[in-house]
Amino acid sequence: AQRVTQPEKLLSVFKGAPVELKCNYSYSGSPELFWYVQYSRQRLQLLLRHISRESIKGFTADLNKGETSFHLKKPFAQEEDSAMYYCAITQGGSEKLVFGKGTKLTVNP
């Protein structure tokens, strides 16, 4: 079965510092990986997906199949990045998302 692990429930950094939110997955096939973000009092929204290899709001994530990881990174965190971040996976061909437990990022001024 697919599983997504986000080892950090909480992550706190200062504004301007680099941030990395960890995500590891277990799946034997070819996964599709996503990062979703939920800002305070807002709905869940897609931040980025590995197949597009794009950078959104300064965030990037690289799929490392050897380490089965898809860590989310940003070189200089901003206060508005404070939110709940969820890593998610679908198996090839399926639309069903399996979410990690999420990491709450707080960027302090």
Partner 1 sequence: GAVVSQHPSWVICKSGTSVKIECRSLDFQATTMFWYRQFPKQSLMLMATSNEGSKATYEQGVEKDKFLINHASLTLSTLTVTSAHPEDSSFYICSATWGRVDHEQYFGPGTRLTVT
Give the type of residue at 93. G
Q: What is the closest distance, in whole angstroms, from the C-beta atom of residue 36 to partner 1 in the complex?
A: 8
Amino acid at 92: G
- Gap between the Cα atoms of 35 and 60, Å rounded: 10
Report if residue 90 touches partner 1, rule: CB under 8 A. Answer: yes
Cα–Cα distance between 38 and 30 in angstroms, integer?
A: 26
The one among 40, 66, 67, 96 contacting partner 1 by CB under 8 A: 96
30 touches partner 1 (CB under 8 A): no
- Where b means 16+ CB within 10 Å and e means fewer, 89-107 reads bbbeeeeeebebebbebeb
x/- track of binding to partner 1 for residues 43-82 (CB under 8 A):
xxxx--x-xx------------------------------
Q: Check residue 31 for interaction with partner 1 (CB under 8 A).
A: no
Q: Which residues bind partner 1 (CB under 8 A)?
A: 32, 42-46, 49, 51-52, 86, 90, 94-102
